[in-house]
Amino acid sequence: MQAPFRAALERGARVARAEADKQSALAEAAARRDVEHAAIEAEARVRARRAEVARVEAEEEIAAHELMVRARELALARERIGWQAEDERRRARAEVDALVGRGEAEVALARARAEVEAAAARARVVTAERLPELAGAVGARFGEVKVTHIGGGGDGGFGSIAQAVAGVLELARRA
């Protein structure tokens, strides 16, 4: 009597143990699957984070390069502006030098003209001062003029003498 009861108990225990082992294996498989899922998700998150970090680093590197390019452009523009300013200064200096040179040339020309006019005025003054002597010398020589006439001219040679006297009188009037 006890043997069938014990066999039934043993069979129930084996079934319960098998059921427990099955549940344990299922729970272990589910845990393994959950761990694998978690590992895959963690790895995917790590990859996504790495990709995000790489994207941010690339954007920062691009921004840094753009800043360097802009800085170079600005430096070149500043340099170009400096060259243009120096060129403008040189042109302005050249224009000023040219104007100064023209002014000096005009002053020199005006001085030269003034000197010429002063010399002409001094010559007229000297001529006017010496006019009486000149008239006396011409008058004293008038008696000694010998006229020789060759060729055709109806004035008899006295035309040139009249012209000379008219020239002396004109000089006297101007002085």
Local structure of 110: helix, strand or coil? helix
Q: What is the pLDDT of residues 62-81, one digit of tens each?
A: 999 999 999 999 999 999 99
Q: Is the pLDDT of residue 48 over 70?
A: yes
Going from the C-alpha of 147 to that of each of 140, 154, 161, the distances in angstroms are: 16, 13, 10
Q: What is the mean pLDDT of residues 105-118?
A: 93
In the chain, where are the structural domains located?
Answer: 14-116
pLDDT higher at 89 or 128: 89
Residue 76 has a pLDDT of 97
pTM of the model: 0.41
- Fill in the DSSP letter of residue 152: S
Residue 91 has a pLDDT of 96
- 3-state DSSP helix/strand/coil % of the chain, to nearest 5: 90, 0, 10
Q: What is the mean pLDDT of residues 147-160?
A: 57
- Fill in the DSSP letter of residue 85: H
